[in-house]
A and B are shown apart, each in its own frame.
Chain A
Amino acid sequence: MLQFVATGVVFGSILAVTASGLSLVYAILKLTNFAHGDMVTFGAYVALFLNLALGLDVWWTLPLAFIAGALLAVALDGLVWAPMRRRGAGTVAMMIASIGVALALRNALVFLFGADTTRFDMPVQPKVPLGSLPVMMSADDWEVIVAAAVAILGLHLLLTRTAIGRAMRALSDNAALAWVSGVDVDRVIRWTWIVGGGLAGAGGVLYGMTQPFNTNMGWFLLLPIFAAIIVGGIGNPYGAILGGLLIGVAQEVSVAVLPTQYRLAVGFVVMILVLLVYPRGLLGQRSLS
């Protein structure tokens, strides 16, 4: 049982990283971005290319996948989202467009890398017991948790300690007031994509370090990511972190008692149970603070 909790924490950390990025984008742009999962896949494949073709150690691909994810997000904003915002597109139109972006991105990845399941070239590490507990963790498992914690701490410091983070929270709180307070909204949006896309890209690498993957990984990750965001409270990245850990642990622990294929459903059952008690999510107030 404890072993499942441990596996859940590892998966939950990855969910937390990816979900907090999606939640940040929602908080500031009010965009429900279905392409986020495929941005996660993109990060994993950038790392795969660097790892297999250039022989780079997977750990070194992590910051590079962050940068690649950020660049992709900024490029997509310039190509798709900024023109839609300028024309005053509604949230539903933007959401549907994001499904189109998701499909385009996935097909591009299939075209470039094929649809076969693949994995990073990294040394297999032995699982060692955690003290006297009946829990086996490899060094990579620990490193995934630490990397996720570092990413989340970075996000927290950005939001609370920097001027751009303060402007992000202000924009999420009250966009019109942020405009007339002199906030350079275009700049804040660009940083939002850098952080959100970067976290997606890095999250993809972390996921690939824990298991084999294919070009559909982002699409399947998107379900628990959305569950995590909703559990935590839409538009609150801290809620997304909490929700990610909760959904991750719940899904893995369920494997102890239920057939594996019910895993995803368990995430949604947890989501519904939480919503029955906290209709706006655990930390829900539609805001970044």
Chain B
Amino acid sequence: MARPEPQAAEPILEISGLRAGYHDLEILRGVSLVVPRGRVVTIIGPNGAGKSTLAKAVFGLVRVRSGEIRFEGQSLLGLKPSQIVQRGLCYVPQTQNVFPNLTVLENLRLGGTLLREGVERRLRAMYEMFPILWERRHQKAGFLSGGQRQMLAMARALMLEPRLLLLDEPSAGLAPNVVDQVFAKVVEINRAGCAILMVEQNARRALAMSDWGYVLDMGENALDGPGPRLLADPEVASLYLGGLGGAREKSRETPRPGAGSEDGAR
């Protein structure tokens, strides 16, 4: 790794002291993180830690009480979701991340709603990156397998050529070989210059490919550091990766019960 320390690079996204939640329920109690331009940052943490809430707060789907979210130096607070994606950051939600009753092509066009021109060029680029979507372009997204749906969700978000892509558990519920494909695509997207902020349960895989990792617990920052170093940290391993060497993590990598092979991804 000849890369400079990620923290030294110019930040594209800065979150500081973020407090947010639902109605009178405060979920995030002062979260701070930085994503350097062009890098991969992963957030791990137990279920219910507030990882998805953090993602929603960035995109204006959850009301922020205090703190700051800056993208390329400018605050995103108070903007409508459509104004936020216009700035150059796009989002793949954890669940329900495609329009099931729209065709694959219609999903992609929806992703390109804000494009003034070059829609056809972006469509071609997406079909090139995800050939399966070309084959299925006239099929309703609801009929895709879990892996194909995840590919479509990423392609939909990439239509606007974002400089930062936020992925919420892109590998959840997918069969192991499909998980490999998803991570390979994440690397490919990042190589093309797009910064990645990824929430992952599949912490070992995600941290191993990340420039920086954050552990979120109970709505607060617990730990952070370069991905591989965090992975090697005995405290992280025992508290967040399952203390029994990789045994528990191993079982997490297989599809969850009821997820039914790759069709369970939602």
Which residues of chain A have a CB within 8 Å of any CB of chain B? 163, 166-167, 169-170, 173-174, 176-185, 285, 287-289
Identify A183's interface contact among B61, B82, B93, B101, CB under 8 A. Answer: B82
Q: Which residues of A sit under 8 angstroms from B84, Cβ to Cβ?
A: 180
Contact A182 B113 (CB under 8 A): yes
Nearest residue, chain A, Cβ from B100: A173
Q: Which of B96, B101, B110 contacts A289 (CB 8 A)?
A: B101
With most chain B CB atoms within 10 A of its CB, the pick from A177, A179, A285, A289 is: A177
A180/B85 in contact, CB under 8 A = yes
Contacts of B160 in A (CB 8 A): 182
Tally the A-B contacts, defined by beta carbons under 8 Å: 74
Chain B neighbourhood of A170, CB < 8 A: 99, 102, 106, 110
Cβ-defined contact, B86 with A182, below 8 A: yes
Instruction: Kindly state the separation between the CA atoms of A14 and B110 in the bound complex, as whole angstroms.
Output: 33
User: In the bound complex, what is the Cα–Cα distance between A9 and B167 (angstroms)?
Assistant: 51
Complex: how many Å from CA A204 to CA B85? 42
Known interface pairs A169-B101, A174-B96, A289-B140; A180-B91 also in contact (CB < 8 Å): yes
Contacting pair A166 B101 (CB below 8 A):
no
Contacts of B61 in A (CB 8 A): 176, 179-180
CB pairs A–B below 8 angstroms (6 shown): A166-B109, A174-B98, A180-B61, A182-B111, A183-B113, A185-B82
Pair B99/A169 contact, Cβ less than 8 Å: yes
Instruction: State in angstroms the CA–CA spacing of A2 and B60 once bound together.
Output: 58
Task: State whether A177 and B102 are in contact (beta carbons under 8 Å apart), knowing that A167-B113, A182-B114, A183-B110 are contacts in the complex.
Answer: no
A285 nearest CB neighbor, chain B only: B101
4 closest Cβ contacts across the A-B interface? A289-B101, A182-B114, A179-B81, A182-B113
Tell me whether A169 and B113 are in contact (CB under 8 A): no
Q: Which of A170, A181, A288 has the most C-beta atoms of chain B within 10 angstroms of its own C-beta?
A: A181
Which of A169, A180, A288, A289 is the one whose CB lies under 8 Å from B81? Answer: A180
A170 to B141, CA, bound (A): 12
Most chain A C-beta atoms within 10 Å of own C-beta, residue among B82, B84, B160 = B82
